[in-house]
Amino acid sequence: MKTIFAKVRAVYAELEKRPVQRQCIARTQCCQFQLTGLTPELTKGEALLAWQAFRATGRKELPERTDGACPLLQPATGRCLIYADRPFGCRTHFCEAAGGMIPRQDVVDLIRRLEEIDRELGGDGPHQIVTALTAALQNHKTR
């Protein structure tokens, strides 16, 4: 699994090096799915890494949210619990303050790499974050 995590992180690192204007200042508006109407989708490798990062915080179950926000957004601090390992969609999203959505053609090679890792893991493509994390939790329990 370490190799998979390294591969997913390498994709994130490559994105950081791209000459696209990004300035995420962690406003977390994009984490309010009910407000934005948009929810990030994760491939299996991203979900397993996100779940592992979540577990590293000492938590075992996804918090229930009734406000339509991401379960990984801490209500008390307004911070992402897994910011360093946040999914690709959280890095390339539509947030205007961060520079708007990155055009797909600028990162399609990176998306392909994540899809390839997904296939390698026997995944069936991206799923919305809660579904993807729930599946990652099941995967963790059956290992």
Binding site for ligand SF4 (CB under 6 A): 28, 31, 40, 70, 72-73, 80, 82, 86-87, 90
Query: For ligand SF4, which is the closer residue by CB, 11 or 31?
Result: 31
To ligand SF4, the closest distance from the beta carbon of 96 in angstroms equals 16
To ligand SF4, the closest distance from the beta carbon of 26 in angstroms equals 8
To ligand SF4, the closest distance from the beta carbon of 34 in angstroms equals 12
Query: For ligand SF4, which is the closer residue by CB, 70 or 142?
Result: 70
| Distance separating alpha carbons of residues 47 and 11, to the nearest angstrom | 14
Q: Which residues contact 135 (CB under 8 A, 6 or more apart)?
A: 44, 47, 127
Query: For ligand SF4, which is the closer residue by CB, 90 or 114?
Result: 90
Query: For ligand SF4, which is the closer residue by CB, 28 or 43?
Result: 28
